[in-house]
Structure 1
């Protein structure tokens, strides 16, 4: 009778699971990278014997270029045979900006004042301005209650 390890090894060695095995190898490789490099990776893929690193910022690209020898040594340790060189580029997507902008749109200011204050202005223009501010505050609190 086969044990579970033999069954799993047989399944993972099946050619139909090659892409899954490559994905797991890439994931293991990224996990053994130093933290300063790992934090800048958006995702990694292998195409035509080249490992492509999609990075989050331009400075990480410089850092990866500087540490190519480290990557090659770690590649040998990870035992990935199909990779001969590396390519680094920065994605031009604006995922974070879209998320930040949508958060800012959803947040609304809640008026804490109810418009009760004494208007001591002596000048008529200033007095009218304070009264218009009072009306704006009262209208905003009334709309917030609806």
Structure 2
């Protein structure tokens, strides 16, 4: 039980240190947490813009960490917090629209059934259009796509 409380206090101190370092630079709402990974103090954000802001202000963040370190040296030594460098990552998920997901599952609707007039005079271009016609007809016959118009 004592180890759990000690670990929780250590994590709280690390997060307090990180919040102090980010104060005024990055919004606290997009800061998720901070943790010691190897010899790095690792910051995690919920928005990719925070990562860019972090990289641009890395020296300012280090200066604020040194200030926090000096003010809370006894608690930091007691918790055994040691790191040499800082880094960050952004973990975020774009919201998904359920209607958009249903639209993705529908088969492709082909706007043509392959019946068009090939007016190309150049034989190479004429051959290209004929290949397109064959591809459209093959996709319609195989069921890969659905014709969305009236058949001519």
State the TM-score, normalizing by the size of structure 2: 0.48
The structure showing larger relative contact order (alpha-carbon pairs under 8 Å, at least 6 residues apart) is 2
State the TM-score, normalizing by the size of structure 1: 0.50
